[in-house]
Amino acid sequence: MCGICGFTQASPQDAPILKSMCDIIAHRGPDGEGIYIADGVAFGHRRLSLIDLTGGRQPMVRATADHSAPVTTPEPGITDGEMLTLEAGDYAIVFNGEIYNYRDLTDELRAEGWQFTTSSDTEVLLTGYLAWGEAVLDKVRGMFAFAIWDRPNGILFCARDFFGIKPFYYTVQNGQFIFASEIKSILEHPAYERELNREALEQYLSFQFSALPETFFKGIYKLPPAHCMTVHADGSLSMRRFWSPSYERNESRSLEQAAQAIDEAMRESVRYHNVADVEVGSFLSSGIDSSYMAACLAHENPDIQTFTVGFAEYKDERDEISWASELADLLNVENSSKHITQEEYWDALPKVQWHMDEPSGDPSAVALFFVDQLAAEKVKAVLSGEGADELFGGYRIYQAPLASSRLSGVPKPLLKGASALLRKTGLRGANYLERASEDVSDWYYTNANGVAFTVEERNRLLKNPVGAPAPQDVVASTYKEAAGLGLDQPSQMQYLDLFYWLVGDILLKTDKMAMAHSLESRVPFLDKEVFKLAATLPLDQRITPEQTKVALRKASSDSIPREWAEKEKLGFPVPVVNWLRDDENYLRVKEWFIGPEASLFFNTDELLNLLDEHREGADRSRKIFIVWMFLMWYRTFFVDRHAPYAIAPKGPRKS
């Protein structure tokens, strides 16, 4: 929906700083710009207008807490070289996201006597805070990151949504609280001096994404999902978790009944996620998640547009585009597609790392960059299928504990010994036996498990390792929470992914790649009511030794053909493995691996060994990609210190 930023200890003379913070994230909101500086608080906003196109401008200010008090918003439009300003009030808000049940909450608030000036979800959120205080977070249904200035209480109240769909970064510098939707906005504030967080680098090598509360920039943090934070008048911070996942398995409900309940919940969620004053499209791939979601959206609006990308290497095969095109014909909806060439992919890498703010070692982020670019040519919002795997049990790795249970009667020392022997002889089965000898908390710490670096490997790779904890130690408290909830081992893996893989990789690239093209990505699976239902599914309705997403597949069977409903999850098939074996690409990466940035952090001989081993047949592609993307990111943010390409000014887009 937009980009937000702001800081405390502000004065009117700080307007140029706020302007710079807004300008650097103009891609998040080309339709409007506003500023609020009063009482030592500065708020900036860039708007992508989707709801109440003329009345929902921000920052939004309410003079008093009187039920009939009107809100004040900036005048429409963006003036040349100037920011739109507001008068001071008792309450002000900047908000990024969508409150999908805002119409329901409007009716509830009106029944309590509150009056409204606009028909925007922003005003509903601000009014809800006035009416219910922090309890407004229990009532909203949507994705959000926001800050509210509460002058009567002398506090700044901030919050981030249940699953971390929308980002919220902050830092405290000499008592000054600074926040923004993107880190690059905070970097524009002169109080912050950029410094690399070397522990973040060390963990990134094992996770492939930024896994710690503190970002790659020393002193800049992420507000965790489902957390709110209060900045007090004395500059102190207090933080609390306002929502926690809870599970109550329904063992008495049949698979057919569970599937019907899922279908009803998903259709309701898609209906809410389709609320907008502009057209909402949908991504469409070969998998069940986007296929089912697009079918639900087509039921709401038969004229929807869908979007798909694939790779030129696969265009003569049955690839993502061929699957999506065929389903689009069956659903009678429009489908736009693009085959990405290898050179387009390489050229996009620096842009992707700049927009991501922190290095991402996930090759599929680049594919997402292109499908968002394609969608942004025709719509301002799209539905995307993120979250289905974590909620409904979609990753094949979740089946591993079920397979290991067959060896539960074998002594664990014997399994460990057999695993070591197989590994030494090079025979298959070593991983299977090793996992059977351990709990999932011993070996499953991220979805990148098996493709990223072990602690031993990263210590060999780094010139000066800082002795960061092992990844298992980083996630240990989350496993403890999961065990305390009485979750079985596959469910513990799902729980872990909610707080690491989903928020640190999947949702981050979803937001940043869409916003790079001034596009809003909405995720109907990550609705708190859908989660509530998914949390009731017993294990055999999520994962069996033979199948993943059991109940979800059943739920989708009336909406999409069986071939799509039962299709095995492939992830996004990016052909990086083969590309990196070409001489030209080998030399392309080698130039980075012997370059000045690499020599700062890594033993370059180890990097070159990875390249050579890969060219000779071993698959080292993900490890190579993880290091390469860090080097590219570091050059952008610490050497060049500007975007890696010329960015055209963002003007208002057609609705």
Contact 529, 273 (CB under 8 A): no
Place of tokens 């239902």: 533
Instruction: Kindly tell me the sign of the dihedral angle through the C-alpha atoms of 75, 77, 79, 83.
Output: positive
pLDDT of residue 81: 41
pLDDT of residue 153: 95
pLDDT of residue 638: 97
Q: Please give the angle made by the CA atoms of 146, 147 and 149, to the nearest 5 degrees.
A: 150
**CA-closest candidate to residue 102, choices 277, 284, 244:** 277
Domains in the chain and their CATH numbers? 2-241 (3.60.20.10), 255-336+362-394+498-572 (3.40.50.620), 397-496 (no CATH)
pTM for this entry: 0.94
pLDDT of residue 63: 87
**Tokens at 519, concatenated:** 């596009």
pLDDT of residue 419: 65
Q: What is the mean pLDDT, run by run of 10 residues, along the chain of 655 residues?
A: 93 94 95 91 92 84 88 66 68 96 96 94 96 97 97 97 98 97 98 98 96 98 98 95 96 97 97 92 92 95 94 75 92 95 96 97 95 96 96 94 71 65 66 70 78 93 95 95 95 96 97 97 97 98 96 95 80 83 95 96 97 95 97 97 74 55
Could you give the residue numbers annotated as active site? 2
- Omega before 411 cis (within 30°)? no
**Neighbour-count burial of 152, counting CB atoms closer than 10 A to its CB (0-12 exposed, 13-18 middle, 19+ buried):** exposed
Contact 225, 204 (CB under 8 A): no
Which stretches of 445-580 are DSSP H helices? Answer: 455-461, 471-474, 476-484, 489-499, 501, 507-515, 528-534, 550-556, 562-565, 576-579
Ranges assigned E (strand) in 55-208 = 60-62, 71-72, 91-99, 142-150, 155-160, 169-173, 176-180
Contact 17, 36 (CB under 8 A): no
pLDDT of residue 80: 39
Contact 530, 380 (CB under 8 A): no
